[in-house]
Structure 1
Amino acid sequence: MTATAIRETTTAPAVPVSRVYRFELRKLLSQWRVRLLLLACWIAPGLFVAGVSQQSTLPSDTLFGRWMHATGWAGPLVILGFAGTWALPLLTSVVAGDVFAAEDRLGTWRHLLVAVRSPRRIFAAKALASLTVVLLLVAGLAVSGTVGGLTAVGDQPLVGLDGHLLAPGDAAARVLLAWTAALAPTLALAAIGLLGSVALGRSPTGLLLPPLLALAMSVAQMLPLPVAVRLALPGNAYVTWNGLFTGPAQLAPLLVGIAVSLVWTALATMLAHLLFLRRDFTNLAYDGAGRRAFTAGLLPLAGLLALSVAVIAVAVPADGIRQAKVQRSLATAFAHLYRMQTGQLHRPAVTEDQLRASAACTKSDGQAAQEGPGNDWRCVVTWHLPGTAVAGTAIYQLDVGSDGRYVADGDGPKEVNGYFLVRTETGDAPNPLWQFDGNVDLLDTTSKG
């Protein structure tokens, strides 16, 4: 007997969704693993950020990691970078990926159907309850990381990905927007978890779908894929939030990523609902929808990916990582950070217009195409100081990722970018020009002023 048949043969009124939702939420919160995850999400990030911020060695290979000594707003961004790759997929797996499968393992579907008398309301209540717990987990990660950073370091300005300083209020707003944007791919993973939990029954494979999908997307982000394919991945917003920390903000990739994630969320939830209504609850040996899970689950999502790639390729102009864009981004970041170093050393203040910084970059010593990712970019930055006839130059080695993020490593002269620390009147301080992060917009910006 299917869920629809059970509903049609029932004469008693169905239980309201709000009541079933409260029941399902209590069931989730009564599980020791969910309680442990909530406790960990609300405590562990803050302790981690506070502890690392006091160490002499920082996670400089992590975005904003090298600024954890300087401002408390770097901490929640470091947590967000880690959470998007590992923590959030695992959390959605434990919550959404098991919310339906648990009833199969316990054999309680018939009891629940008799009590509620509406399969649709059961699905809605379980989906809303799992969503509530996921939101609590995400909020815990964000709040805990922020509190830990502000407590340990303080409310200081944050250095953006183009080298300009963000005032504490501006930094706070952008950190909040970054975590809010990360909710979209998290919802997509949660919807995939719901689909796996419904389609695969008691099989543990359903639990693995969100982390496996996240791992596949992480690997794809490291590959030199076309920009349209990269933007069509449902987890792309875990990366494109970086664009919030440039000036002007690179919003287009982020908005595309959010839209794609929300479409994936809607489709995966709809497919899970459809499979749930069609399943046979009278079969106690039910172990997944079998071929139906492939035809009504996997194939539509694959079709959505193909359709997204086609639509984005036509609607969103993109030219990837080009030489001119790398040079422009590096010169802008260097000019901002040079002014910061000038302030540290109490030298006469200069403006970006006075510096007239420019960069000349080559890839593979000019022996290959001057575009694309790689750690073989070499750049010479040139700038001018008022009253000085000779221009200054500095060398940087760039490691440019497929997602547009790059790390610029100073290679001299030693007075500018040769050492990690610079001597100031108050002691040694981190040298902002020694090594810094930047971001290249993958979209076509030639039409912008």
Structure 2
Amino acid sequence: MSTTVAQTRTAEPEASPVPVGRVYRFELVKLVSQWRVRLLMAGCWITPGLFVAAVTQQGTLPSDTLFGRWMHASGWAGPLVILGAAGTWVLPLLTCVVAGDVFAAEDRLGTWRHLLVAVRSPRRLFAGKALASGTVLVLMVVGTAASSTVGGLAAVGSRPLVGVDGHLLAPSDAATGVLLAWLCALAPTLALAGLGLLGSVLLGRSPIGLLVPAVAAMAMQVAQMLPLPVALRLSLPGYAFISWNGLFAAPARTAELLISVAVGLAWAAVATGAAYLLFVRRDFTNGSEDGVERRALTYGVLPLAGLLAVSVGAVALAEPAEGADITQDKVQHSVATVFAHLYRLQTEQLHRPAVTEEQLHVTAACDRGDGHVDPHGPGNDWRCVVTWHLPGVSAPGTAIYQLDVQPNGRLMADGDGPKEVNGYFLVQTPNGDAPNPLWQFDGEIALLSAGPN
């Protein structure tokens, strides 16, 4: 009798693992059922639109942020302002809550054995959790983009947008740029999510694992404020939160953007792969945390450090930068280009005869520290004298600007006279006072270009 029972048990087919699709649906439902995730999801789909609509009704605008000074002029400026803030603070925090806790929560609740018995495959369980967290993050990013866009268009309307080099983008071009900018922001977001998965698997119930994406994002933000080599700057996964600015130049500067997106996706793949290898090799029968330092070095630090080294070498070989990334010629070219575009905008405001950039022949002479500092590199001591010519006028016009040039290539110019050109924030138009586009303006310097462009 016992022999018959043993043979029957042996003949029973072994239970097959649960399909990844079912694991994914289960993990997705479990994730969105958490009150904090629901609250964040609702905030992403509602708050940005309300914020943009409220700001556009104010008399003062966030002029210290890129496109902030144009929120009254175009509804397409609002989602770009939100994107700049989201890349700095919002998206890293979202990845902490979603990806940084998706594995650690099971450690705190002690439910790993139940999940493994139900799923019967650590690989499929990891895939389901990773896909569920990625889906929630993508929905949050999409909601933030859609909400801010609807808020801007509802409050201001679909009007032409002033680009980073001062030229006007038609509403259709602005819409395309906004869509592409938010799509590119998914790459660094997924990179932070990969780091969150790695920290969640590696550190288990420790709260430090939850903070890995936020700490990484803060470190990359600090690094972007330092005068780093161009190859190293572009090899950090968070640079795509900045490089989307090039979409709003004429012609569009896509080299930095494509490199930064590729780097972000590579970081996402490597970090997620490291988390996967660590998870499938984990001994779930032992609840101790022995060897966490060795695992952190083997599966966390070394792969990412190797990826960073490879990225720096690849960028340096593909796009060699000659000399300093921020040079006097580049600053002068950027200031002259922006001034020429915005001068035409001011001419239109004042109902003066139309002119072209070729007729204006704008030039800029820039130095640092009143000529006592070498004119290259970032700093807030740049000073530019802009000169232009009007048709039929023998004497050239001049205007002075004080510049703050940041290490990532962004410059902010503050008008220093004459008053009728750039010395006051309003100009008197036939229709009343209007914001003076030449009073303050932003510009972008192409770090990879060896020339002045």
TM, length-normalised to structure 1: 0.96
Percent of aligned pairs sharing the same letter: 72
Question: Among 13, 35, 46, which residue is 1:43 paired with?
Answer: 46
Q: Which residue of 2 aligns with 1:382?
A: 387
2:312 is aligned with 1:323: no
Distance 1:324 1:291 in 2: 49
- Look up the match of 1:253: 256
**Residues 85-124 of structure 1 correspond to what in structure 2 (within 5 A)?**
85-124=88-127
| Residue 78 (structure 1) aligned to one of 76, 81, 88 | 81
1:3 is aligned to none
2:433 is matched with: 428
Residue type at the aligned position of 1:161: V
**8 Å contact kept, 2:368–2:375:** yes
Equivalent AA in structure 1 for residue 268 of structure 2: T
- For 1:180, the equivalent position in structure 2 comes to 183
Query: What aligned pairs does 1:18-417 form with structure 2 within 5 A after superposition?
Result: 18-286=21-289, 289-319=292-322, 320-417=325-422
Report how far residue 288 of structure 1 moved. 7.9
Does structure 2 conserve the Cα–Cα contact (< 8 Å) formed by 1:200 and 1:288? Answer: no
- Aligned mates of 1:314, 1:359 — CA distance in 2: 32
1:440 aligned to 420, 423, 445, which one? 445
Is the Cα–Cα contact under 8 Å of residues 195 and 212 in structure 2 kept in the other structure? yes
Shift of 1:287: 7.8
1: CA distance between counterparts of 2:320 and 2:185? 24
Task: Give, in angstroms, the shift of residue 446 of structure 1.
Answer: 3.1
Q: Which of structures 1 and 2 has the bigger CA Rg?
A: 2
Gaps of 5+ in 1: 1-9
Structure 2 regions of 5+ residues with no counterpart?
1-12
8 Å contact kept, 1:198–1:288: no
Shift of 1:365: 1.6
SS at match of 1:362: strand
- Aligned letter for 2:371? G
Separation in 2 of the partners of 1:70 and 1:54? Answer: 12
Q: CA RMSD in A?
A: 1.3
Distance 2:261 2:185 in 1: 8
**Shift of the alpha carbon at 1:286?**
4.7
CA deviation vs aligned residue, 1:184-209 (integer Å, no higher than 9, x gap)? 00000000000001111111111100
Per-residue deviation at 1:307? 2.1
Give the distance between the partners of 1:284 and 1:111, measured in 2 at CA.
14
Contact 1:107 1:284 in 2 (8 A): no
Whole-angstrom CA distance in 2 between matches of 1:307 and 1:412: 48
Q: Is the 8 A contact 1:16 1:121 kept in 2?
A: yes
Q: Within 1, Cα distance between the matches of 2:372 and 2:293?
A: 53
SS class of match (1:247)? coil
Distance 1:256 1:414 in 2: 42
Would you identify which runs of 4 or more consecutive aligned residues in structure 1 move more than 4 Å? 285-288
Deviation at 1:290, TM superposition (A): 3.6
Match of 1:4 in 2: none
The aligned amino acid for 1:240 is: S
After superposition, give the CA deviation of every residue in 1:5-64 in whole Å (9 maximum; x if it has no partner).
xxxxx9310111101100000000000000000000001101110001100111111111
Deviations 1:268-314 (A, max 9, x none): 11100000011111123458844212222112111211222122222
Answer with 195-204 or 293-302: which moved more. Answer: 293-302
SS in 2 for 1:284: coil
Please give the alpha-carbon distance, in whole angstroms, between the structure 1 residues aligned to 2:308 and 2:227.
18
Contact map agreement 2:329 2:452 (CA 8 A) in 1: no
Which residue does the alignment assign to 1:418?
Answer: 423
- State the distance in 1 between where 2:141 and 2:395 align: 53
What is the SS of the residue equivalent to 1:408? strand
Distance 1:310 1:368 in 2: 31
Q: Count the aligned residue pairs.
A: 439
Q: Distance in 2 between matches of 1:188 and 1:350?
A: 46
Name the structure 1 match of 2:4: none
Q: CA deviation at 1:445?
A: 3.8
Q: Is the 8 A contact 2:87 2:185 kept in 1?
A: yes
Distance, in Å, in 1 between the alignment partners of 2:364 and 2:71 is 28
